[in-house]
Amino acid sequence: MSGTPDVVSFTVYGTPQPAGSKRAFPIRRSNGKMGASVVDANPKSASWKTVVSQTAAVHFRGDLLGGALEVVFNFVLARPKGHYGKRGLLPSAPEFPTGKPDVLKLSRGVEDALSGIVWRDDALIVDERLSKRYGETAGVGISIRELSAGMLAPPSAPARPATAGQGAATSGRGAGGEAPGGIAGEREGV
């Protein structure tokens, strides 16, 4: 990561907006042929992406990142007014924002906004951690790190359930010497 810090961290204030869902409208082109105009389904996402891009440009002043990336997005949403009563937060108010927008669509908007500002393409993200919580001030905390070889341990694969007739593997290996996640492992004792 030449000329750039090891970790880029900053906060973007504002109401996070989801992105990713698109709507298409038929249009007639100037040559008379039909085409489609594709727009984001959320009209508020464009202004949110602009705020994210402008904030990122202030905090990141280096060459575009072009290697494997680890990113953390911590989204903070303002509580709805219905969560409060005359004496403050109601006991019935949920602790976590489990409704829409979902955290994956929130991250899509931020990823798109950072493309061309911080990184070349959001396809470079190989490790992404997302959270969505309630807080006093809405926004997103962003942390980005370009990775080099050996910086991340490979993810552990989930255990694969036994298929009919195979039975459960009791030795820690599935059929054919595979690890329970279906990934070929090293032989024991070698």
Per residue of the chain (190 residues), give pLDDT as tens: 444 448 899 999 999 999 876 666 687 888 888 877 666 666 778 899 999 999 999 999 889 999 999 999 999 999 999 999 999 999 999 999 999 999 999 999 999 999 999 999 999 999 999 999 999 899 999 999 999 866 665 555 565 555 555 544 444 433 443 333 332 333 334 3
| The model's pTM | 0.69
Q: Are residues 133 and 172 in the same domain?
A: no
- φ, ψ of residue 71 to 5 degrees: the values are -130, 150
Q: Up-side HSE of residue 98: CA atoms within 13 Å toward CB? A: 4
Q: Are residues 179 and 107 in the same domain?
A: no
Strand partners, 10: 142
Instruction: Return d(Cα 120, Cα 137) in angstroms, integer.
Output: 30
Q: Are residues 82 and 166 in the same domain?
A: no
SS3 readout for 45-93: HHHHHHHHHHHHHHHCCCCCECCCEEEEEEEEEECCHHHEECCEECCCC
Q: Which CATH number characterizes residue 134's domain?
A: 3.30.1330.70
Instruction: Return d(Cα 102, Cα 97) in angstroms, integer.
Output: 9
Q: Are residues 14 and 60 in the same domain?
A: yes
Whether 28 maps to a domain, the answer reads no
Cβ contacts of residue 26 below 8 Å, gap of 6+? 34, 35, 36, 37
Whether 31 maps to a domain, the answer reads no
Domain extent, residue 169, equals: 156-190
